[in-house]
Amino acid sequence: DEHFLLPYEEIPVQFPGTGDIFSSLIVGRLKDGDNLRHATRLAMDTLRNWIDINKDNDDINRGIPVEKHLADLSF
């Protein structure tokens, strides 16, 4: 079993659904053959970028509009 830590910088905002997005991003990368560490790092970076882009949205209770960021999924 491999254990690893990946540092991150917290963005002080909360969106519903980010855990689901994070999990989906990881699973997608694992299905493409990435190892868990790399898949997790890519998911973290992608989600951080999406949160940063959307942190000033008027209604953060609506979550992150994933459909606006689908082009980012090519990693």
Residue 8 contacts residue 46 (beta carbons within 8 Å): no
Asked if residue 29 belongs to a domain, the reply is yes
Q: 60 falls in which pLDDT band (50, 70, 90)?
A: confident
Asked if residue 11 belongs to a domain, the reply is no
pLDDT at 58 over 90: no
Q: What percent of the chain has pLDDT over 90?
A: 81
Report how far residue 48's alpha carbon sits from residue 38's, in angstroms, rounded to the nearest whole number.
Answer: 15
Report how far residue 1's alpha carbon sits from residue 8's, in angstroms, rounded to the nearest whole number.
Answer: 23
Model pLDDT for residues 10-33, shown as the tens digit of each residue: 999 999 999 999 999 999 999 999
pLDDT at 45 over 90: yes
- What's the whole-model pTM score? 0.87
Q: pLDDT value at position 75?
A: 54
Question: Among the residues of the chain, which ranges form H helices?
Answer: 18-31, 36-54
Report how far residue 9's alpha carbon sits from residue 15's, in angstroms, rounded to the nearest whole number.
Answer: 16
Could you list the residue range(s) of the whole structural domain that residue 46 is in?
16-56
Q: How many domains does the chain have?
A: 1
